[in-house]
Amino acid sequence: MTSSWPKSSTSSPAASELARPGEVNPAGLAAVLGVTLARGTVVIVGTGSGGGPLARLSAREREVLTELARGRSNREIARALSLGEQTVKSYVSSILTKLDLTDRTQAAIFGLQQGLVRPRDVLPP
């Protein structure tokens, strides 16, 4: 199957370039998240329904993960959820541990893969 996605560019993609129904543009997603994906990387976007790894998280941890997936900083998450910044750091640490992830970028990608956030709702870098 040949992809109709445009090749990567140095500029940030428009939201319409990030996703089509049932698809995610990995190059566009990587640009928005400010990460580099290896050639051939597969990005899976789910619905977020059902048990799975998200079931390991508390409701508040899922809210924090959702904000992480949107590309928000700890300070922005704290403001959005009416939490202290240190509390957000604790939640992020707990999320990483429970999901066996090593950093917030992995957590953000995981949140997108689980369907917590639509790619068009991700903040630009």
Domain presence at residue 9: no
For 8, phi and psi rounded to 5 degrees? -60, 150
Average pLDDT for the chain: 75
Domain presence at residue 3: no
Residue range 9-34, pLDDT digits in tens: 444 445 445 544 445 566 666 655 55
C-alpha angle 85-83-80 in degrees, rounded to nearest 5: 100
Cβ pair 109, 116 in contact under 8 A: no
- In the DSSP assignment, the letter for residue 70 is T
Q: What is the distance between the alpha carbons of residues 33 and 57, in angstroms, rounded to a whole number?
A: 23
- Domain extent, residue 68, equals 18-121
Please tell me the predicted confidence (pLDDT) of residue 60.
95
Q: What is the distance between the alpha carbons of residues 11 and 9, in angstroms, rounded to a whole number?
A: 6
Using the structure block, give the residue that is written with the tokens 């990995």.
26
Cβ pair 69, 112 in contact under 8 A: yes
Other Cβ atoms closer than 10 A to 32: 23
Please tell me the predicted confidence (pLDDT) of residue 89.
96
CATH number of the domain bearing residue 46 = 3.40.50.2300
Using the structure block, give the residue that is written with the tokens 């990608």.
109
Residue range 106-125, pLDDT digits in tens: 999 999 888 888 877 776 65
CA distances (Å), origin 93, targets 31, 66, 80, 90, 96: 25, 15, 18, 5, 5
Please tell me the predicted confidence (pLDDT) of residue 10.
44
Residue range 66-122, pLDDT digits in tens: 999 999 999 999 999 999 999 999 999 999 999 999 999 999 999 988 888 887 777
Domain presence at residue 1: no
Count of domains observed in the chain: 1
